[in-house]
Chains A and B, each alone.
Chain A
Amino acid sequence: MRSSAIAAILLIAAGAAASEIPPGDRRSGFTFMAPDTKAMQNDDTANPAMLWVLDGEALWKKKTGNAGKACADCHGDASASMKGVAARYPAYDKALGRPVDLEQRINSCRADRQQAAPLAYESRDLLALTAFIARQSRGEAITAGDDPQLKPFVEKGRALYSQRQGQLNLACANCHDDNWDKHLAGSAITQGHPTGYPIYRLEWQSLGSLQRRLRACITGIRAQAYDYGAPELVELELYLMSRARGMPMESPAVRP
């Protein structure tokens, strides 16, 4: 009894000494997956996320809104103009004075340039456009957070990541920095690098954004999840992307 109590105290003490993962030890969630799931991601005709990419390509070329413009009318060929873009988002938005993620950037482009209604978070169209744009960065190294203007927001994201919260009183770091080589029930605890968003998650039977994944994780520790589009979620996205700096993009990835 006493020894288990001591062990528990030691465990908590070890948890308190949260340490960041050294760059050389960083691993994409891909490396934790079963061979079948890896094969599914690697084959563009077996990866269901490519269905959204196809839709996104059609939307990219489709004129919409009162301005009667398509994305392609300004940005042209996405394979050139959108290459590496998803790898540097969330990016600083001068007008707002804070970072915006790729979904918010698409919606601000819709509002300002196309004069079209914003697309709802997790709607098929927004996921499709995001997946299509992110697909153009596959293999590119993540550069998000390099902009010096983003520094305070990266720090805010880091603070949120290290903040214990919810009924289980856990911080992101307690699992994804301290225990990533272990399992939670049958599932591998990964390092939480957002290399492949939007992802086709087998559990969801659908494509989903990083914000959806973060909200699911926050609900999992029994804390109140932030609303879609909340600055806190964008700061977390930004910190996670800066933490994965230099890792190659896999979008759209498959995850279990």
Chain B
Amino acid sequence: MASALINVPAKAKRGEIIEIKTLMSHIMETGYRHTATGEVIPRDIITSFTCRFNGKEIFRADLFPAISANPFFTFFTTATESGKFEFEWIGDKGFSETASASIAVE
């Protein structure tokens, strides 16, 4: 059960700097740990996070094994026009999740 928490202001003034927060449910297994019997626990992490606004990429991050479980990203952008933020997380074992949030700019 993967789920995401997104915090985008519903409204903003044109030119205003807004904060976007995202939290994605994921175990972020490093690939460096072993079971009690010595077998390696395979790596299972999110490798990429992207945010697009009205189709245009505005934020991207690559993730690595040192990043803790349930990665939290917060970043700022300038509100230019009304539209839709689309978030995408891609990872190991075919992990792929999306979420979106709309903003009204006055």
A residues whose Cβ falls under 8 Å from a Cβ of B = 43-46, 48, 50-51, 54-55, 58, 124, 128, 202, 205-206
Contact = CB atoms under 8 A, between A and B. Distances in A.
A51 B3 CA distance: 6
B31 to A, nearest CB: 15
Given A48-B70, A205-B28, A55 B5 contact: no
Nearest to B28: A205
Interface size band for B: 10 to 19
A239 B68 CA distance: 34
B100 interface: no
Contacts of A128: 1
B69 interface: yes
26 contacts: A43-B7, A43-B21, A45-B5, A45-B7, A46-B21, A46-B23, A46-B74, A48-B25, A48-B69, A50-B5, A50-B23, A51-B3, A51-B5, A51-B25, A51-B70, A54-B3, A54-B5, A55-B3, A58-B1, A124-B1, A128-B1, A202-B68, A205-B28, A205-B68, A205-B69, A205-B70
B103 interface: no
Nearest to A51: B25
Nearest to B71: A48
Q: Which 3 A-B pairs have the closest CB atoms?
A: A45-B7, A205-B69, A48-B70
B6 interface: yes
A44 B6 CA distance: 10
A54 B24 CA distance: 12
A45 B3 contact: no
Given A205-B28, A205-B69, A205-B70, A48 B3 contact: no
Contacts of A45: 5-7, 21, 23
B72 interface: yes
B9 to A, nearest CB: 11
Given A44-B5, A45-B5, A205-B68, 19 more contacts: A43-B7, A43-B21, A45-B7, A45-B23, A46-B74, A48-B23, A48-B25, A48-B72, A50-B5, A51-B25, A51-B70, A54-B3, A54-B5, A55-B3, A58-B1, A128-B1, A205-B27, A205-B69, A205-B70
A204 to B, nearest CB: 9
A20 to B, nearest CB: 37
B72 A55 contact: no
Contacts of A202: 68
Interface in B53-86: 68-70, 72, 74
Most buried by B among A43, A51, A205: A51
Nearest to A125: B1
A46 B72 CA distance: 7
A4 to B, nearest CB: 41
B20 to A, nearest CB: 10
A205 B7 CA distance: 22
Contacts of A58: 1
A55 B23 CA distance: 14
A184 to B, nearest CB: 23
Nearest to B29: A205
Contacts of B6: 45
A50 B5 CA distance: 8
A253 to B, nearest CB: 15
